[in-house]
Amino acid sequence: MCGIVGYVGKRPVQDLLLAGLKKLEYRGYDSAGISVIAGDEIESLRAVGNLQNLFEAVAAREADDGGVAVAVQTATTGIGHTRWATHGRVNESNAHPHFDTSNAVHVVVNGIVENYVALKRRLQDMGAVFTSETDAEVIAHLVAHHCALGSLEDAVLAAFNELEGHFAFVAMRLDEPDKLVGVRKECPLVVGRGDGETFLASAIPAFLSETRRTQYIENDEIVVITPDDVRFLGPDGSEHEREVEEIDWDEETAEKGGFDTFMLKEIHEQADAIADTVADRTAPGTHVDLDDVGALDENMLRGIDRILITGCGTAYHAGLMGRYALEEWAQIRTEIDVASEYRYRKQLVGPGDLVIGMTQSGETADTLAAMRAAHEAGATVLAVTNVVGSQATRDADGVLYTRAGLEIGVAATKTFVCQVAVMYLLALKLAELRGTMKPATMERIVGEIKRLPHSVQEVIAAATDPDTGLPAGPVAEAAERHWQADFFLYLGRHIGLAVALEGALKLKEISYISTDAYAAGEMKHGPIALLEDGTPVVVVATDSPVKDKVVSNMQEVAARGAHVIAVAAESDHEIDEHAKQVLRVPDVDWMLQPLLGTIPLQLLAYAIASRRGLNVDQPRNLAKTVTVE
Ligand code: G6P
């Protein structure tokens, strides 16, 4: 995911920007760049790939061009960025900083500008010349256009009020060399206060080695920084006061963004991760864009007879959710198997079949072997992965990337929700091509997918403490009640079964509590024998055509003394009669509710494991990437 760093002060800015970007590397990126105010020019350098390439470009400029190099080395104002591509390919012209036509305003942007198409058209009509395929560039031109208003902050304020989406950006202007103006709308941005110098960054580690004094920027605020002063403005231009806070984090806590663990941080990053994953595939309009997926062009997709999904662990569960979406929306025959089994089955696939390898790392040995076996049998193979350049991307005929950023916690969270989001997009695309969904339904569901980041944020906000980010509310109550249990049963039907399986896997992975996850209708053929008074049973009871059946199963387990924890829609009040605790998700389309339902279950597992005093980031015996069979 993208990173921002900016500086105004008295020290040479270039080294500070490069050091800051290095500290943000852990977020994952595919290109990087910096711009500094060097005398009467803004000098910029951008490079694709590892930061090392940017360092080498800087070194080459120093060796090549004495004049520019000296001006850059003495520059004291600048901005830097690591980009994780969303709109537009990974190349130098799409890397940030972006700039306006006269090269007088440079910006670095995280997040998504949803209305960039309309704004771009308007700015082009006024003569703006665009040089990238990104949504971010529109901000540079828009701010430059509004500079006629006077100051950079006036221009940014006017631009902010025209922009839709969720983003954070920092703007720099040649005519006001000792100033940066930043904006925060749902994406993170913080101020670092030094002595005669000020930093702006998307995360504290970017400046932690330089200063521990910080000021937090609120949502929808504009911040104006100069070497000695910081002003906070509301969208109406009103000034806000802000305390300076001293950070007592060490480097490791800083990398965790202030959260207790990487897993908790990654749970909280899920809204941004989904936004980055779906953004370039859904905007603008209701059309799902799956261009750029290698051999999987529209002709190929139209001709698919059957889909087979394979993967391991959490990725397998994401695939299972995808199967229901593919069947429900695209009405396409879809099978799924764990990779360690599929690779040794008789390969009855061939041309016309699409085999999808789900693997966040792109390196899981069994998944790679299953994909190869399918490929050799003649199927077209698609990789769904989070890692650019991983083995899966090299072996597959096409790649659909999730954009979750680096995931460090061994138990997958944000990569899972992004895998599910990608499967939803694929199912919608196939539905569009096969004409299996009414246009009005398509429009509604694509709209809800675009709003998924907001829905995810709603679920997280309702289930966590606003100060610590720790599980709170009904999730924390359920954890407090059951953290000593030695067994949990998880039940679900249809797509809700996949949520139950994933919820149970999360709990066993990090809390070491024995779990069983079952198709709710099958429960009476076995697991019902395990129920005792007070046995915790998690039931996924989100809206669906089989919800009444699920409610019957809740009654069956309650009648045997089980303590039911239900996952249900916000407006479903009836469910309270059948459950001791209800974990709520927003009233989105019934096929999307299950994705949201996995989040309180991640937090439930987290709360229980923490209560048991366990290391959630590195559970015993488990590995993040399993490169052995
Ligand atoms: C390991 C990890 C899981 C992950 C699985 C598949 O078991 O602990 O979190 O879901 O591998 O990994 P992949 O990288 O292929 O998605």
Reported as a single tens digit per residue, the pLDDT across 44-102 is 999 998 899 999 999 988 887 667 878 888 999 999 999 977 777 889 999 999 999 99
Q: How remote is the CA of residue 490 from the centroid of ligand 1, in Å?
A: 21
Atom number in ligand 1 closest to CA 385: 16
Q: How remote is the CA of residue 314 from the centroid of ligand 1, in Å?
A: 6
- Residue 10 pLDDT: 96
Question: Tokens for 247?
Answer: 């950070």
Judged by DSSP in three states, 102 sits in coil
Pocket test for ligand 1, best of 343, 625, 628, 629 (most atoms within 8 A of CB): 625
The amino acid occupying position 551 is V
* Residue nearest atom 15 in ligand 1 by C-alpha distance: 359
Q: How remote is the CA of residue 498 from the centroid of ligand 1, in Å?
A: 16
- Residue 1 pLDDT: 60
Atom number in ligand 1 closest to CA 623: 8
Q: Does residue 545 have a cis bond before it (omega within 30 degrees)?
A: no
Beta bridge partners of 335: 308
- Residue 229 pLDDT: 97
- Residue 283 pLDDT: 63
Instruction: Name the residue among 319, 280, 250 with its Cα closest to residue 111.
Output: 280
Work out whether strand 213-216 and strand 190-193 pair parallel, antiparallel, or are unpaired: antiparallel
pTM: 0.77
Task: For residue 450, indicate whether it is catalytic.
Answer: no
Distance CA 84, CA 457 (A): 21
Distance CA 104, CA 172 (A): 8
- Residue 291 pLDDT: 76
Distance CA 87, CA 574 (A): 43
Largest Cα–Cα separation, the chain? 82
Judged by DSSP in three states, 133 sits in coil
Low-confidence ranges of the chain (pLDDT < 70): 1, 26-28, 65-66, 283-285, 628-629
What is the sign, positive or negative, of the torsion defined by CA atoms of 459, 464, 467, 468? negative
Can you give the length of the chain in residues?
Answer: 629
* Selected catalytic residue, list 2, 147, 312, 418: 2
3-state secondary structure 107-172: EEEEEEECCHHHHHHHHHHCCCCCCCCCCCHHHHHHHHHHHHHCCHHHHHHHHHCCCCEEEEEEEE
- Residue 276 pLDDT: 87
Q: How remote is the CA of residue 181 from the centroid of ligand 1, in Å?
A: 41
Give phi and psi for 492, each to the nearest 5.
-165, 165
Q: How remote is the CA of residue 582 from the centroid of ligand 1, in Å?
A: 29
Task: For residue 418, indicate whether it is catalytic.
Answer: no
Give phi and psi for 446, each to the nearest 5.
-60, -40
Distance CA 163, CA 604 (A): 37
Question: Tokens for 133?
Answer: 């395929």
Distance CA 328, CA 16 (A): 52
Radius of gyration of the chain (CA): 25
Distance CA 6, CA 8 (A): 7
Distance CA 52, CA 75 (A): 21
Neighbours of 231 (CB within 10 A): 15
Half-sphere exposure of residue 537: CA atoms within 13 angstroms, side-chain side: 33
DSSP string, 38-74: ETTEEEEEEEESSHHHHHHHHHHHHHH-HHHHHHHHT
* Residue nearest atom 13 in ligand 1 by C-alpha distance: 359
Pocket test for ligand 1, best of 314, 366, 406, 422 (most atoms within 8 A of CB): 314
Pocket test for ligand 1, best of 621, 626, 629 (most atoms within 8 A of CB): 626
Give phi and psi for 6, each to the nearest 5.
-140, 155
